[in-house]
């Protein structure tokens, strides 16, 4: 250690305090200095702070279910807390039981049979995204990034010394890129494609044929596919999100699947995700993780085993609640004069805006959350046309307060109905039952 001791911790408050100085000091990392803070988390934190001050803010920032994690999952974690084996380091790539459960889930939902050794459990899907690019990108490589996109991707690509190359798909093409567009953007340096279906932020879901065409194109050119499937269970109106490895099985050899429990099971704060892929790529990622963060918290891993192996009806209840909100918010937003609301129909993911208007993406300033009565331009780091930001006050009252009005008539009654029929637990304040009682359930 060559760091000088921090002498600020003197009881009298005396001593040296760190100061930002350029004096006689080498510059900070250029790579990290170029990375922007997560705009989503920044706006989300701002919204939560305003809420804490009693301001009427509904945050459309983070894709965060507002339900409590299902009790049987919480119970599994509570039980794990009492088992000393969870107090120790465990394998960096994940608990064997969880890797097994993830392999089973991957077969169930993505149609890909994998060995548990092809799974790395990560601190949320976000770490899996980071590690996936680290595993396949070399300095100067280009990564094709369909836009609008989730703000983390370009930064994670840059952290791997790659260059994100945006491929824009607007409303006229249902926010889905075509093979022709990808081919036009491909160069000799193209190493990987980011494929997200259902997409955040657009909610678009590629059809089986579209997915197959893109998978075959990637296969033909030996291009890696980083497919983020974190929203795969949040689809509506009978639509199925077909995994690219199901549509084109051979592309699995050059695909890394990213997923996690955050959205489906209302577990954003537990920080549990994973990556699945070919052994060589997964070994690189696991080695990286063994130096970076080691194993994910064992308690969260035990909870994830319960989530994946347990009954899925509560997760299905969440999905249905999102669907009701989706329909309500689209219907209400459509009533605003001059506002175009793409009908998300069967395509919308709905943990965030239910497929309707959303605040500007990307580098939108967190203060936008607090700005009064002005729509955002809708252009940010998330690419062109990421959305037209609308402050809650500009939305019809039922949408603004969806499910929160104590009394309502007419249009507002729809919102009240939402609240009543939603019936979802939000506080999670629930006594953990005694062991015996838990055993009986
Ligand atoms: C598309 C997408 N992928 C991955 C993540 C990461 O989720 P987490 O790190 O919470 O598991 C998010 C979170 O918002 C997301 O929107």
| Residue 200 CB less than 6 A away from ligand 1 | yes
Strand partners, 166: 145
Task: Compute φ and ψ for 380, nearest 5 degrees.
Answer: -155, -160
The closest residue, in CA terms, to atom 16 on ligand 1 is: 200
How far does the centroid of ligand 1 lie from the alpha carbon of residue 433, in Å?
Answer: 31
Separation of alpha carbons 422 and 387, rounded Å: 27
Which tokens go with 397?
């009252």
| Residue 124 CB less than 6 A away from ligand 1 | yes
How far does the centroid of ligand 1 lie from the alpha carbon of residue 125, in Å?
Answer: 5
Strand arrangement, sheet containing 119-122: 119-122, 273-276, 255-260, 224-228, 190-196, 142-147, 163-168
| Residue 318 CB less than 6 A away from ligand 1 | no
Which tokens go with 440?
């009986």
User: pLDDT digit of tens for each residue in the chain (441 aa)?
Assistant: 344 444 445 555 678 888 776 678 888 999 999 888 877 778 888 888 898 999 888 777 777 898 999 999 999 999 999 999 999 999 999 999 999 999 999 999 999 999 999 999 999 999 999 999 999 999 999 999 999 999 999 999 999 999 999 999 998 999 999 999 999 999 999 999 999 999 998 899 999 999 999 999 999 999 999 999 999 999 999 999 999 999 999 999 999 999 999 999 999 999 999 999 999 999 999 999 999 999 999 999 999 999 999 999 999 999 999 999 988 888 888 899 888 777 654 334 444 443 333 333 333 344 444 342 333 333 333 444 333 333 333 444 545 444 343 333 333 333 332 332 333 445 443 333 333 333 332
- pTM, two decimals, is 0.79
The closest residue, in CA terms, to atom 4 on ligand 1 is: 125
How far does the centroid of ligand 1 lie from the alpha carbon of residue 214, in Å?
Answer: 22
Q: What integer pLDDT is reported at residue 63 of this predicted model?
A: 77
Q: Which atom of ligand 1 is nearest to the CA of 228?
A: 3
| Residue 123 CB less than 6 A away from ligand 1 | no
**Which helix (H) or strand (E) segment is 145 a member of?**
strand 142-147
Q: Which residue has the tokens 């892929």?
A: 277
Q: What integer pLDDT is reported at residue 62 of this predicted model?
A: 77
Sign of CA dihedral 168, 173, 179, 180: negative
Output the CA angle 288-289-292, nearest 5 degrees.
90
The closest residue, in CA terms, to atom 7 on ligand 1 is: 125
| Residue 199 CB less than 6 A away from ligand 1 | no
Sign of CA dihedral 216, 218, 224, 230: negative
* End-to-end C-alpha distance for the chain, whole angstroms: 52
Separation of alpha carbons 66 and 68, rounded Å: 7
8 A C-beta contact, residue 412 and residue 400 = no
| Residue 270 CB less than 6 A away from ligand 1 | no
Q: Residue 41's CB: how many other CB atoms inside 10 A?
A: 15
| Residue 295 CB less than 6 A away from ligand 1 | no
3-state class of 203 per DSSP? coil
- Which domains can be identified in the chain, with CATH numbers? 59-69+313-422 (no CATH), 71-309 (3.40.640.10)
Which tokens go with 173?
């093409």
| Residue 131 CB less than 6 A away from ligand 1 | no
Q: What integer pLDDT is reported at residue 344 of this predicted model?
A: 57
148: cis peptide before it, omega within 30°? yes
| Residue 203 CB less than 6 A away from ligand 1 | no
Separation of alpha carbons 67 and 325, rounded Å: 13
| Residue 46 CB less than 6 A away from ligand 1 | no
Helix axes 124-136, 279-292, angle to 10 degrees: 120
8 A C-beta contact, residue 142 and residue 189 = yes
8 A C-beta contact, residue 257 and residue 106 = yes
| Residue 148 CB less than 6 A away from ligand 1 | no
How far does the centroid of ligand 1 lie from the alpha carbon of residue 36, in Å?
Answer: 17
| Residue 44 CB less than 6 A away from ligand 1 | no
Residues 6+ away with beta carbon under 8 Å from 250: 219
């Amino acid at each position: 250690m060559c760091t000088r001791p921090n002498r600020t911790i003197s009881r009298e408050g005396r001593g040296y305090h760190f100061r930002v100085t350029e004096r006689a000091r080498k510059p900070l990392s250029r790579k990290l200095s170029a990375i922007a803070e997560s705009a989503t988390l920044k706006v989300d934190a701002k919204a939560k702070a305003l809420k804490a001050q009693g301001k009427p803010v509904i945050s459309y920032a983070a894709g965060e279910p507002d339900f409590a994690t299902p009790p049987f999952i919480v119970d599994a974690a509570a039980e794990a807390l009492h088992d000393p084996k969870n107090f120790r380091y465990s394998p960096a790539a994940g608990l064997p039981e969880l890797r097994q459960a993830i392999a089973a889930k991957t077969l169930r939902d993505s149609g890909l049979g994998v060995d548990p050794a092809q799974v790395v459990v990560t601190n949320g899907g976000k770490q899996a995204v980071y590690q996936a690019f680290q595993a396949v990108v070399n300095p100067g490589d280009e990564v094709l990034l369909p836009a609008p996109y989730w703000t983390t991707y370009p930064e994670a690509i840059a952290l791997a010394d790659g260059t994100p190359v945006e491929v824009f798909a607007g409303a006229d093409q249902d926010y889905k890129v075509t093979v022709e567009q990808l081919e036009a953007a491909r160069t000799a340096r193209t190493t990987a494609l980011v494929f997200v279906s259902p997409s955040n932020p657009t909610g678009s879901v590629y059809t089986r044929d579209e997915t197959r065409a893109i998978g075959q194109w990637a296969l033909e050119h030996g291009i890696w596919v980083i497919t983020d499937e974190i929203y795969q269970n949040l689809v509506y109106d009978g639509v199925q999100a077909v995994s690219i490895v199901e549509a084109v099985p051979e592309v699995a050899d050059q695909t890394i699947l990213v997923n996690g429990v955050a959205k489906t099971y209302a577990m954003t704060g537990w920080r549990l995700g994973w990556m699945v892929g070919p052994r060589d790529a997964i070994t690189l990622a696991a080695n990286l993780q063994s130096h970076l963060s080691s194993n994910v918290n064992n308690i969260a891993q035990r909870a994830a085993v319960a989530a994946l192996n347990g009954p899925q009806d509560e997760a299905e209840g969440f999905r249905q609640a999102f669907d009701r909100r989706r329909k309500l918010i689209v219907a209400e937003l459509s009533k605003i004069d001059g506002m175009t609301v793409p009908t998300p129909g069967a395509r919308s993911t709905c943990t965030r805006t239910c497929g309707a208007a959303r605040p500007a993406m990307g580098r939108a300033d967190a203060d936008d959350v607090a700005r009064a009565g002005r729509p955002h331009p809708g252009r940010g780091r998330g690419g062109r046309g990421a959305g037209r930001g609308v402050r809650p006050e500009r939305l019809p009252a039922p949408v603004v307060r969806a499910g929160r009005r104590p009394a309502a008539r007419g249009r507002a009654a729809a919102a009240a109905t939402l609240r009543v029929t939603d019936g979802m637990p939000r506080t999670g304040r629930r006594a953990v039952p005694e062991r015996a009682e838990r055993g009986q359930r």
